[in-house]
């Protein structure tokens, strides 16, 4: 075999090895693309943190492939998304929100989605934020007309107690406060100091249930627990509190908090609250229950509190 034959054989082997290497690389890329495609399809509808990444991608334009460079994970996801979008033949655009009727605010949200907000929109947003300087007195309008009772944290609890007390005075009703019945390991707590401290705990430490819940007949309220809310179909149901049903011997006028007026009644064993829901379609078999009135039972919630700073040093239990 001469030199030319040796050279041809060498080139043939080189071509074979090169082809095998290219096919292996291509197969690896295709497998990765398939895996990323499956992962991207499974993750449709989930929102990841954007950080500093662009908030939008123009899928109408074909991707610009760089020769000799493997696509990144983001580029693969964009290609998969583009292929999915190209298969969509019907698009529904929601132009109205269920819980917002303010046309000007809806317009602001539309501008915000397209990045077209101006200074007027900024001024409107300032009216939606309540800060300390903007509230002169909760006894003045419009703060004395707070339409809802929402208990989620200590600040909201205080803000809602003030107008509720004011409305009770205006309507001539005696304020009623539902007192939480805290227990430890299923047994009632007898230590008066511990009872008082637990009732004064912030809502964010008691699974959003206040120790002292104020009720005023006729004041609007929002129900935040039912099946539709758990499924995130709605944020809450509007209703009007009408009556608190409780055991007759559980009412007391002994002052438990200086926040409420001296004539406040403290209910220690409530049974349920009657809430009027205008859109209710529940049919009740109770003869004495008026239409649209829905009984809301007492809610029980377990939480853990460190009481080591409340009790003496020789008693440091955990209260549930």
pLDDT at 122: 82
Phi, then psi, of 188 in degrees rounded to 5: -60, 145
- Answer left, alpha or beta for residue 300, where phi above 0 means left and psi between -120 and 50 means alpha: beta
Q: Is the pLDDT of residue 115 over 50?
A: yes
Q: Is the pLDDT of residue 284 over 80?
A: no
Domain segments of the chain: what residues? 3-45+55-85, 95-129, 140-319
**Top-confidence range, 59-68, 145-154, 179-188, 263-272:** 263-272
CA gap 76, 27 in Å, rounded:
15
Average pLDDT over residues 8-23: 58
Q: Which is higher by pLDDT, 200 or 65?
A: 200
Average pLDDT over residues 82-95: 71
Structure-token match 């334009």, residue found = 61
pLDDT at 160: 75
Sequence-distant (≥ 6) Cβ neighbours of residue 86 within 8 angstroms: 59
Which token pair is 172? 């001539």
CA gap 187, 182 in Å, rounded:
9
* pTM, two decimal places: 0.48
pLDDT at 187: 81
pLDDT at 315: 58
Q: Is the pLDDT of residue 249 over 70?
A: yes
pLDDT at 32: 52
Give the model's confidence band at 56: pLDDT under 50 very low, under 70 low, under 90 confident, else very high.
low
Give the model's confidence band at 42: pLDDT under 50 very low, under 70 low, under 90 confident, else very high.
very low
Structure-token match 């049919």, residue found = 283
Q: Which is higher by pLDDT, 284 or 60?
A: 284
Average pLDDT over residues 160-188: 83
Name the average pLDDT for the chain: 70
pLDDT at 227: 61
Average pLDDT over residues 39-51: 41
DSSP string, 201-216: S-GGGTTT--SEEEE-
CA gap 257, 209 in Å, rounded:
17
State pLDDT tens for residues 96-105: 666 667 788 8
State pLDDT tens for residues 191-215: 887 888 888 877 777 777 778 888 8
Computed from CA positions of residues 42, 47, 52, 56, in that sequence, does the dihedral angle turn out positive or negative?
positive
C-alpha dist (Å) from residue 197 to 127, 160, 184, 200, 308: 36, 21, 14, 5, 12
């Amino acid at each position: 075999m001469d030199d030319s034959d040796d050279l041809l054989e060498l080139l043939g082997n080189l071509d074979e090895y090169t082809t095998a290497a290219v096919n292996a690389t291509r197969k690896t890329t295709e497998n990765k693309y398939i895996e990323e495609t499956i992962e991207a399809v499974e993750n449709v509808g989930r929102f990841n943190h954007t950080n500093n990444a662009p908030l939008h991608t123009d899928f109408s334009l074909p991707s610009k492939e760089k020769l000799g460079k493997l696509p990144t994970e983001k580029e693969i996801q964009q290609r998969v998304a583009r292929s999915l979008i190209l298969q969509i033949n019907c698009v529904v655009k929601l132009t109205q929100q269920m819980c917002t009727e303010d046309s000007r605010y809806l317009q602001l949200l539309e501008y915000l989605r397209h990045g077209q907000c101006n200074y007027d929109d900024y001024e409107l947003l300032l009216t939606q934020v309540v800060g300390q300087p903007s509230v002169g007195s909760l006894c003045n309008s419009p703060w004395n007309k707070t339409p809802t009772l929402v208990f989620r944290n200590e600040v909201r609890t205080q803000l809602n107690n003030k107008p509720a007390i004011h409305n009770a005075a205006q309507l001539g009703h005696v304020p009623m406060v539902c007192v939480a019945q805290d227990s430890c390991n299923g047994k009632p707590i007898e230590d008066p100091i511990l009872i008082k401290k637990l009732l004064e705990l912030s809502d964010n430490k008691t699974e959003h249930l206040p120790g002292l819940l104020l009720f005023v007949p006729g004041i609007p309220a929002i129900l935040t627990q039912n099946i539709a809310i758990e499924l995130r179909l709605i944020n809450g149901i509007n209703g009007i509190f009408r009556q608190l049903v409780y055991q007759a011997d559980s009412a007391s006028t002994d002052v438990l908090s200086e926040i409420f007026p001296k004539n406040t009644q403290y209910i220690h064993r409530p049974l349920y609250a009657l809430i009027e829901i205008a859109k209710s379609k529940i049919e009740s078999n109770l003869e004495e229950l008026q239409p649209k009135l829905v009984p809301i039972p007492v809610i029980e919630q377990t939480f853990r509190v460190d009481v080591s700073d409340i009790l003496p040093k020789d008693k440091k239990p955990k209260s549930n």
